[in-house]
Amino acid sequence: MAALLPLVVVWPLAATVIVFLSAGRIKGRSAGILATGAVGLSAMTGGVLAAGFMSGAVTYPLHVTLWEWMRVPGFSATIAFALDPVSLVMIAVVTIVGFLIHLYAIGYMAADPGSARFFGCMTLFVAAMLVLVLASDLLCLFIGWEGVGLCSYLLIGFWYDSPANTAAARKAFYITRIGDVAMLCGLLMMATATASLQIDGLLFAVTAGQLSPAVMTGSALLLLTGALAKSAQIPFQSWLPDAMAGPTPTSALIHAATMVTAGVYLLARLHGLFAAAAPAMAIMAAIGMLTLLVAACTALVQSDLKRILAWSTISQLGYMYLALGVGAWQAALFHLVTHACFKALLFLCAGAIIARVDHEQDIFRMGGLRRFMPGVTAAFVIGAGALAALPLVTAGFYSKEMILSAVWRGQPVLTPDFILSGHLLWGGALFGALLTALYIFRCVFLVFYGQEKTVPTGRTRWVMAVPLGCLAFLSVFVGCVEMPGDIAPVHLFTRFVDPAGMAFHPHEPVWLLLAGAITPVAGAGIAWIVWGRSGPVTRTIPETGGGTDDLLPVMPLRFVVRITRYDLPDRLAAAAGWMTRATSRMMMRARRAALHLAAERTAMVGREGTVVLVRMQNGRVRWYAGWIVAGLGAALAWAMLS
Amino acid sequence: MYVLPLLSGGLTLVGAMMVVTCPVAVHAVLYLVVTLLSLAMVLAMLGAQFAAALEIIIYAGAIMVLFVFVIMMLNLGQPDRDREKEWLRPRAWIGPGLLAVVACGELLYGLPTLSDPDGAVFPIDARDVGLSLFGTYVLMVELASFLLLAGLVTAFHIGRTLRERP
Amino acid sequence: MTAFPFNAALLLAALLFSIGLAGVLVRRNLVFMLMSLDIMLNAAGLVFVAAGARWQDASGQVMFLMILALAASETAVGLAIILCLHAHGRPSLDADTGNLLRG
């Protein structure tokens, strides 16, 4: 049984190698079938492992050490895999959702000349993610982490002949790179403290109190930074909407199964470390809260279908970080699973729509599409319902409810004097749920209802329709494995991933549940009032990119728009500019008055000093070498004389 | 008694001097080979036979061959020689010479072990080096391989643009 | 074989380093600058080996190997740049005109 574990990774990796080594001899369709088959085999292997797990033939955690990478005094690293319930859940998500996306991509990429390269990258993406979730050593995990980043770069810039696409790819790469550096620093910090990066050993060292609190908090914060960048949380959020430049299946894969979920997985995997680093937890919760609200507000005013979905991903990841921040990593993981299903569904539906309406992505130029594509409409509405967490009938409801109840109880401690209020966070999360329902049903009503603006052509092929059906099914029913105690005592998911943590479900007021159930419905209702009744104002195409005020006749929504426009980096830049202007104005006045002379002198010194510095930077290598030697001489003299 | 050390050390210095002052590139390369060979002799006398062998094989062999090839491709002639002589006027030596002398003086002044009478050296054979290299320093070996790979890719890239551009 | 005294090795290394340094500073031709750099690297390597022999530690020679790798990649890249410059209309290889290089 243990021998099966590496196979999970080997199948997609082998497909990648075959596709890339064939150097174009394997054409698009066969490459697609090969890739899909490989991911399918991987899913089946995972299924066998899960069956062995359920039947008790395997006891967890199952460790497989492939080889020892290096061993030096004070540090050792192994390439080793470990299977436990958490990684089993992740394997299921990555391979099953990945399989469906690959299947869809066979149809979607059929006409593209570079589709063999596309499938090679896609399977490599899945393989890297599987390495990431299976690794039992953080250095091995880091390999997968970097592999995921590389593949996202390759796939976002897949259509590399457009400069915008390559710019988006570079942006994604750079921003996640910032996080990777922080993560590497965190890993090195822990490696120096514990001499190994084995996850089990590390968590044991944390619980045994072998690490100093400073090391724990420091490395937790650094790892958190890495995860935030990977998951496009504030302040790293800007790469994900731009990542829409890639083919739609790529977006689905990035958003649902791989890449952005890696951060959540890492934090869930190391929850023991974070439990011991309370400030990191509180920061995580605060950032999650902030991200989910800001991203939801931004999604509300976007007009590009894929961008709306991208911002909604950021927002939903904010929920996961919020849950992780209050210690409910089980809830975060559960939301990850349901989110993977419905977000993949939404993206694939969006791809199907965009392919049929001549690559139009502006929702204001669509409309009335339900009469032309009823199947896709049904699938999209199911996905939208799950995203909005419509009560009882969707998977999203159960996972979001789990997060909300955990947040209500949570009390993230930033410092002993400053404790975030769980009730306040709950209120924010509930408001986020309202916004979620609002923006996604805005999208639904604008795209599928009202009068037709474009007439779709062609048909959605069955290879694309089947994944949509499967994902729609999953989006409805996958939530049934875990229910709030007041509805039914079903706690299969929690029992599976965390048998020890069953005290997780204390009884809570029923009105919490009711509030969580009513809010999305209310949001959908408001969306119907504003955009659904085909009010002529709200359905017109906005004049300018930012002119969204006219679209929102309802007064409270103006406030929302105002928040949305609150683009933090922009504001910071504006503030800096304002301060500069103010300072210079002040300087001017000062110069006119008594400080005239001083300002002149300052300016003169600056100018003259600049001249000297400019002289030094003459671009001549030999002069630079001379300066280096002079510095060396001075340093040596100082060292010897002092 | 000290003939061999004196000879090899002196040869090293003279060769290095000639490299720095010689106006003809091929001659400079040959002087550099002499320098490296005599330096290899010094290394061997320090008990580092392995390092000496590598110095000869890699430095005096491979790297110098690289230099020779490049100089062949540069196709230097009499004008270049004249230009070098023009560049090496005595005036050009003032600043660099001063800096180098100051640096050298500081180095010599700052090395307290120069007055250390107990200067015995112990031979270290290739076995010790290998054990150390693939034991304690295995991570550094990996990093060195990264460096060489980066150098390879860079050289390849620069050379490729050379070929493709007209 | 006669042993080379440790002190003499340090003296030799310091002199060699200074000669290389003077070469880097005084020569304007990039080929000669590279050669002078190699002399400096060799001086540093000599110190490592000498110190390793003095205190009987294999680390000295390991560092020498690292310097060798460094010198190899430096020379390869440097010579590639020289060839590139030569092919792009800078046959004099004058380091002092490098400040006018674009792109």
For residue A632, the chain C residue with the least C-alpha distance is: C21
Q: Quote the CA–CA distance of B28 and C19 in Å, as a whole number.
A: 14
Question: Looking at CA atoms only, how far is residue B78 from chain C in angstroms?
Answer: 12
**Closest C-alpha among B70, B22, A624 to residue C85:** B70
Contact A70 B139 (CB under 8 A): yes
For residue B110, the chain C residue with the least C-alpha distance is: C14
Q: Does residue A610 share a domain with residue A632?
A: yes
Q: Does residue A620 share a domain with residue A588?
A: yes
Q: Is residue A540 part of a domain?
A: yes
- In this complex, which of B13, B122, B155 lies closest to C53 when CB atoms are compared? B122
Question: Looking at CA atoms only, how far is residue B124 from chain C in angstroms?
Answer: 7
Q: What is the pLDDT of residue A594?
A: 64
Domain final position from A566, A601, A626: A566
Q: Quote the CA–CA distance of B164 and B166 in Å, as a whole number.
A: 6
* Residue A103 vs residues A27, A107, A467, A471, A475: alpha-carbon distances, Å: 16, 7, 7, 12, 18
Whether the Cβ atoms of residue A377 and residue A278 lie closer than 8 Å to each other: no
- In this complex, which of A619, A621, A629 lies closest to C21 when CB atoms are compared? A629
Cis peptide bond N-terminal to C5, omega within 30: no
Low-confidence winner among A162-176, A189-203, A486-500 (lowest mean pLDDT): A486-500
Is C19 an interface residue toward A (CB < 8 Å)? Answer: no
Q: Is residue A313 part of a domain?
A: no
Q: Quote the CA–CA distance of A498 and B3 in Å, as a whole number.
A: 78
Contact A626 C95 (CB under 8 A): no
Q: Quote the CA–CA distance of A201 and A136 in Å, as a whole number.
A: 10
> Highest mean pLDDT: which of A53-62, A358-367, A527-536, B60-69?
B60-69
* Residue A609 vs residues A591, A606, A624, A634, B55: alpha-carbon distances, Å: 21, 5, 18, 21, 47
For residue B69, the chain C residue with the least C-alpha distance is: C79
Q: Which of B3, B36, B38, B59 to mutate to test the interface with C (most CBs of C within 10 A)?
A: B59
Contact B42 C27 (CB under 8 A): no
Is A576 an interface residue toward B (CB < 8 Å)? Answer: no
Domain ranges of chain C: 9-89
**Closest C-alpha among A63, A57, A225 to residue A137:** A63
Q: Quote the CA–CA distance of A392 and A398 in Å, as a whole number.
A: 8
Question: Looking at CA atoms only, how far is residue A209 from chain C in angstroms?
Answer: 36
Q: How confident is the model at residue A570 (pLDDT cuts 50, 70, 90)?
A: low
Q: What is the pLDDT of residue A502?
A: 56
Contact B128 C58 (CB under 8 A): yes
**Chain A residues within 8 A of C98 when measuring between CB atoms:** 619-621
Whether the Cβ atoms of residue A452 and residue A367 lie closer than 8 Å to each other: yes
Q: What is the pLDDT of residue A549?
A: 38
Q: How confident is the model at residue B75 (pLDDT cuts 50, 70, 90)?
A: confident
Q: Quote the CA–CA distance of C76 and A443 in Å, as a whole number.
A: 58
For residue C6, the chain B residue with the least C-alpha distance is: B119
**Chain B residues within 8 A of A638 when measuring between CB atoms:** none
Pairing mode of beta strands A418-419, A75-83: unpaired
Q: Helix, strand or coil for residue A24?
A: coil
For residue B129, the chain C residue with the least C-alpha distance is: C58
Domain ranges of chain B: 1-91, 134-166
Low-confidence winner among A13-27, A125-139, A279-293 (lowest mean pLDDT): A13-27
- Residue with the bigger pLDDT between C93 and A180: it is A180
- In this complex, which of C1, C58, C60 lies closest to B45 when CB atoms are compared? C1
Q: Quote the CA–CA distance of A347 and A299 in Å, as a whole number.
A: 15
Q: What is the pLDDT of residue A590?
A: 63
Q: How confident is the model at residue A559 (pLDDT cuts 50, 70, 90)?
A: low
The H or E element spanning position A76 is: strand A75-83
Whether the Cβ atoms of residue A69 and residue A35 lie closer than 8 Å to each other: no
Contact A70 B138 (CB under 8 A): yes
Q: What is the pLDDT of residue C101?
A: 53
The ipTM estimated for the assembled molecules is 0.90
**Chain B residues within 8 A of C93 when measuring between CB atoms:** 74
Contact A632 B103 (CB under 8 A): yes
**Closest C-alpha among A8, A74, A605 to residue B136:** A74
* Residue A199 vs residues A16, A284, A297, A500: alpha-carbon distances, Å: 28, 21, 38, 19
Q: Is the pLDDT of residue A561 over 70?
A: no
Q: Quote the CA–CA distance of A357 and A351 in Å, as a whole number.
A: 10
Looking at A370-410, list the stretches that DSSP marks H as alpha helix, in order from N- to C-terminal side.
374-388, 395-409
> How deeply is B89 buried, as exposed, middle or buried, from its count of CB atoms within 10 A (0-12, 13-18, 19+)?
exposed
Q: Is the pLDDT of residue B127 over 80?
A: yes
Q: Helix, strand or coil for residue A392?
A: coil
- Backbone dihedral angles phi then psi of residue A328, each to the nearest 5 degrees: -95, 65
Q: What is the pLDDT of residue A546?
A: 42
For residue C27, the chain A residue with the least C-alpha distance is: A622
Q: Which of C17, C18, C24 to mutate to test the interface with A (most CBs of A within 10 A)?
A: C24
Q: Is the pLDDT of residue A541 over 60?
A: no
Contact B110 A632 (CB under 8 A): no
Q: What is the pLDDT of residue B105?
A: 87
Query: Which tokens sit at A256?
Result: 């649902």
Q: Does residue A596 share a domain with residue A512?
A: no
**Closest C-alpha among B76, B71, B75, B39 to residue B55:** B39
Pairing mode of beta strands A75-83, A62-72: antiparallel
Tally DSSP H helices, then E strands, for chain B.
Answer: 8, 0
* Paired strand residues for A70: A77
Tokens 């090899």 sit at which residue?
B8
List CB contacts of A504: < 8 A, sequence separation 6 or more.
A328, A330, A494, A498
Q: Quote the CA–CA distance of A209 and B22 in Å, as a whole number.
A: 66
Contact B155 C59 (CB under 8 A): no
Q: What is the pLDDT of residue B30?
A: 93
- Backbone dihedral angles phi then psi of residue A459, each to the nearest 5 degrees: -130, 155
Neighbours of chain A (3+ CB pairs under 8 A): B, C
**Closest C-alpha among A446, A442, A447 to residue A524:** A442
Q: Does residue A594 share a domain with residue A481?
A: no
Contact C69 B148 (CB under 8 A): yes
Contact B138 A629 (CB under 8 A): no
Contact A625 C24 (CB under 8 A): yes
Q: Is residue A530 part of a domain?
A: yes
Q: How confident is the model at residue A567 (pLDDT cuts 50, 70, 90)?
A: low
Q: Does residue A577 share a domain with residue A480?
A: no
Q: Is the pLDDT of residue A555 over 60?
A: no
The residue-averaged pLDDT of A515-543 equals 73
Q: How confident is the model at residue B96 (pLDDT cuts 50, 70, 90)?
A: confident
Q: Greatest CA separation found in chain B?
A: 63
Contact C98 A618 (CB under 8 A): no
Q: Helix, strand or coil for residue A282?
A: helix
Per residue in A490-514, pLDDT (tens digit) is 777 887 887 776 555 566 778 888 8
- In this complex, which of C21, C24, C99 lies closest to A620 when CB atoms are compared? C99
For residue B95, the chain A residue with the least C-alpha distance is: A626
Helix axis angle for B126-133 and C59-87, nearest 10°, is 80
Q: Which of C96, C100, C101, C102 to mutate to test the interface with A (most CBs of A within 10 A)?
A: C96
Q: Quote the CA–CA distance of A265 and C61 in Å, as a whole number.
A: 45
Q: Is the pLDDT of residue A33 over 80?
A: yes
Fold of the domain spanning C9-89: Helix Hairpins (1.10.287)
Q: What is the pLDDT of residue A257?
A: 77
- In this complex, which of A618, A619, A629 lies closest to C25 when CB atoms are compared? A629
Q: Quote the CA–CA distance of A309 and A304 in Å, as a whole number.
A: 9
Work out the mean pLDDT of chain A and round it to a whole number: 83
How far the first Cα of chain C sits from its last, in Å, is 54
The residue-averaged pLDDT of A558-573 equals 56
Whether the Cβ atoms of residue A468 and residue A348 lie closer than 8 Å to each other: yes
Q: How confident is the model at residue A553 (pLDDT cuts 50, 70, 90)?
A: very low
Q: Is residue A239 part of a domain?
A: no
Q: Quote the CA–CA distance of C65 and A74 in Å, as a whole number.
A: 23
- In this complex, which of A621, A626, A629 lies closest to C98 when CB atoms are compared? A621
Whether the Cβ atoms of residue A628 and residue C20 lie closer than 8 Å to each other: no
Q: Is the pLDDT of residue A58 over 80?
A: no
For residue C23, the chain A residue with the least C-alpha distance is: A622
Buried b (16+ CB within 10 A) or exposed e, A67-91: eebeeeeebbbbbbbbbbbbbbbbb
Q: CATH number of the domain at B1-91, please?
A: 1.20.120.1200
Q: What is the pLDDT of residue A538?
A: 53
Low-confidence winner among A478-482, B73-77, B119-123, C95-99 (lowest mean pLDDT): C95-99
Contact A629 C98 (CB under 8 A): no
Q: Quote the CA–CA distance of A9 and A38 in Å, as a whole number.
A: 10
- Which region, left, alpha or beta, applies to residue C93 given φ > 0 means left and ψ of -120 to 50 means alpha? left
- Residue with the bigger pLDDT between A560 and A371: it is A371
- Residue with the bigger pLDDT between A47 and A566: it is A47
Q: Is the pLDDT of residue A201 over 50?
A: yes
Is A213 an interface residue toward B (CB < 8 Å)? Answer: no
Neighbours of chain B (3+ CB pairs under 8 A): A, C
Domain around A485: 332-409+417-566
Per residue in A115-143, pLDDT (tens digit) is 888 999 999 999 999 999 999 999 899 99
Work out the mean pLDDT of chain C and round it to a whole number: 87
**Chain A residues within 8 A of B102 when measuring between CB atoms:** 633
The residue-averaged pLDDT of A556-573 equals 56
Q: Is the pLDDT of residue A35 over 70?
A: yes
Interface of C with A in 81-100 (CB under 8 A): 95-96, 98-100
Q: Quote the CA–CA distance of C46 and C24 in Å, as a whole number.
A: 19
DSSP collapsed to 3 states, A222-242: HHHHHHHHHCCCCCCCCHHHH
Q: What is the pLDDT of residue A551?
A: 42
Whether the Cβ atoms of residue A61 and residue A305 lie closer than 8 Å to each other: no
Q: How confident is the model at residue A382 (pLDDT cuts 50, 70, 90)?
A: very high
Q: What is the DSSP string of A211-225?
A: S-HHHHHHHHHHHHH
Question: Looking at CA atoms only, how far is residue A624 from chain C in angstroms?
Answer: 9
Cβ neighbour number for residue A183 with a 10 Å cutoff: 27
Is B98 an interface residue toward C (CB < 8 Å)? Answer: no
Q: Quote the CA–CA distance of B127 and B147 in Å, as a whole number.
A: 25
Contact C5 B97 (CB under 8 A): no
Name the domain count of chain A.
2
Question: Looking at CA atoms only, how far is residue B115 from chain C in angstroms?
Answer: 8
The H or E element spanning position A131 is: helix A115-134
**Closest C-alpha among B93, A619, B159, B71 to residue C91:** B71
Per residue in A424-469, pLDDT (tens digit) is 889 999 999 999 998 999 888 888 887 777 777 777 788 888 999 9
Q: What is the pLDDT of residue A63?
A: 86
Q: Quote the CA–CA distance of A252 and B143 in Å, as a whole number.
A: 37
Q: How confident is the model at residue A552 (pLDDT cuts 50, 70, 90)?
A: very low
* Paired strand residues for A362: A304
The H or E element spanning position C66 is: helix C59-87
Whether the Cβ atoms of residue A227 and residue A179 lie closer than 8 Å to each other: yes
Question: Looking at CA atoms only, how far is residue B154 from chain C in angstroms?
Answer: 6
The H or E element spanning position C10 is: helix C6-26
Whether the Cβ atoms of residue A259 and residue A279 lie closer than 8 Å to each other: no
Per CB distance under 8 Å, which residues of A are interface residues toward C?
618-622, 625-626, 629
Q: Is residue A533 part of a domain?
A: yes
**Closest C-alpha among A284, A350, A348, A345 to residue A317:** A284
Contact B161 C53 (CB under 8 A): no
Contact A622 C99 (CB under 8 A): no
> How deeply is C98 buried, as exposed, middle or buried, from its count of CB atoms within 10 A (0-12, 13-18, 19+)?
middle
* Paired strand residues for A491: A482
Share of residues in chain A with pLDDT > 70 (%):
90
Q: What is the DSSP string of A314-373?
A: HHHHHHHHHHHHTT-HHHHHHHHHHHHHHHHHHHHHHHHHHHHTTS--BGGG---GGGT-
